Chains A and B, each alone.
Chain A
Amino acid sequence: EAQVTQNPRYLITVTGKKLTVTCSQNMNHEYMSWYRQDPGLGLRQIYYSMNVEVTDKGDVPEGYKVSRKEKRNFPLILESPSPNQTSLYFCASSWGGPGNEQFFGPGTRLTVL
């Protein structure tokens, strides 16, 4: 089954404790992206990747890191999480090109205390 998976689905952590949210897709998509969803703000793009070893900042990259060492994986790293990073995070992937549908993962709800 074609899908985007994220782990963990739920995470409660404390300020400053490094964490990684994994994202994997099995559709051989070139493009992958991370979004955060906050009430009243919709989805905002954090980082995206056009292909392996090619990443770029989205609208809200501060406090996040990503890597794209393999085509299927695009982990999101929070080196020192803070409470303002409490949010719902979505990973998405698509074929290259701006007109292609993005397929979304189920989301990761992160709470930083």
Chain B
Amino acid sequence: AQSVTQPDIHITVSEGASLELRCNYSYGATPYLFWYVQSPGQGLQLLLKYFSGDTLVQGIKGFEAEFKRSQSSFNLRKPSVHWSDAAEYFCAARGFGNEKLTFGTGTRLTIIP
């Protein structure tokens, strides 16, 4: 079955430190991959997406993600986090020709001073 796994439920990072959020997918073929962010009390906002081509994808708010086919991973990174990055982050995937968007269970990011 198609699935998206985010192994980290909660991550705490110091402000200014680097960040990596993990995402693994299980699909028959490489799906379309997305990272969304949900700030407290808000809906979801797209950070970035990957379809094909360059495996390092740049997004908004200084985020980037790297697609690794060999590891079925699409990890999200940011070189230096800001207090405003505290939120919940969701990885999602959608198969080509399949209209269902499957989400991971999310990673809650806490930023400490």
Contacts and interface: CB of A to CB of B under 8 A. Distances in A.
Interface residues of B, number: 27
A28 to B, nearest CB: 18
Contacts, number: 57
A58 B101 CA distance: 9
A106 B43 contact: yes
A59 B49 contact: no
B101 A33 contact: yes
Given A43-B90, A104-B44, A106-B43, A99 B51 contact: yes
B103 A48 contact: no
Contacts of A106: 42-43
24 contacts: A31-B99, A42-B103, A42-B105, A43-B103, A45-B102, A48-B99, A48-B100, A50-B99, A56-B99, A59-B100, A92-B44, A98-B32, A98-B95, A98-B96, A98-B97, A98-B98, A98-B99, A99-B32, A99-B49, A101-B34, A102-B44, A102-B46, A104-B44, A105-B43
The 8 closest A-B pairs by CB, nearest first: A104-B43, A42-B105, A98-B94, A43-B103, A104-B44, A42-B103, A99-B32, A101-B46
Interface of A: 4, 31, 33, 35, 40-45, 48, 50, 56, 58-59, 90, 92, 98-99, 101-102, 104-107
